[in-house]
Amino acid sequence: MYSEKEIEERLSERNIRPTAIRILVLRKMLEMNQDEAFSLLDLENRLDTIDKSTLFRTLTLFHDNLLVHSIDDGSGSIKYSLCKRGCECFGEASHVHFSCTLCHRTFCFEKIAIPRIDLPVGFSYESANFVFKGVCSVCSRSQK
């Protein structure tokens, strides 16, 4: 589905040297649901040849080079999600997330931007994390 060249290009765009493992990780993330964010453990389970510390360093590198954004959904583990190509976020997503209290999946609501809020005088804005909790559409359907 995704050619090696396509993936290498995407890494190079962000000044990430395309090693075998990085290509593997990026390919997997491209294949996974783009509207969901995954924890390190999620990825480890889907890429069981790769050591978790390597995965951690790979994701940290991806994050530092703005290829993925991270979300703290309050689950106790950080979730990662691929940035859209040409994404303007600076490591933290500029959109809202949703964390399902039943299946514990975290969804990216790409279309819902984090609203602008006027902070009190003296407080400067760097980034924001806006996460909803509730029951996702899949779980609420299967509960009926």
Partner DNA sequence: CTGTGTGCAAACACTTTGCAGGTGT
Partner DNA sequence: ACACCTGCAAAGTGTTTGCACACAG
**Is residue 106 part of the contact set for DNA (CB under 7 A)?**
no
120 is a contact residue toward a copy of itself (CB under 8 A): yes
* Among residues 10, 22, 95, 105, the one that binds DNA under rule CB under 7 A: 22
110 sits near a copy of itself (criterion: CB under 8 A): no
Query: Residue 97 corresponds to which tokens in the numbers above?
Result: 């997330």
- Count of C-beta atoms within a 10 Å radius of residue 130: 17
The reply to whether 5 sits near a copy of itself by the rule CB under 8 A is no
| Pair 106, 37: CB distance under 8 Å | yes
Binding residues among 31-50 for DNA as defined by CB under 7 A: 39-41, 49-50
Tokens of 81: 């999600």
Region of 16-24, 28-36, 89-97, 117-125 interacting with DNA (CB under 7 A): 16-24
Residues 83-102, interacting with a copy of itself (CB under 8 A) = 92, 96, 98, 101
Q: Binding-site residue total for a copy of itself (CB under 8 A)? A: 33
Please enumerate, as own/partner, the contacts of 55-62 that have beta carbons within 8 Å and a separation of 24 or more. Answer: 55/25, 58/21, 58/22, 58/25, 59/25, 61/16, 61/22, 62/14, 62/16, 62/22, 62/25, 62/26
Burial label for 48, CB within 10 Å (0-12, 13-18, 19+), is exposed
Judged by CB under 7 A, does residue 113 bind DNA? no
Q: Which residue has the tokens 């924890």?
A: 39
Q: Which residues bind DNA (CB under 7 A)?
A: 17, 19-22, 39-41, 49-54, 56-58, 60, 76-78
Interacting residues with a copy of itself (CB under 8 A): 72, 74, 92, 96, 98, 101, 107, 109, 112, 115, 117, 119-138, 140-141
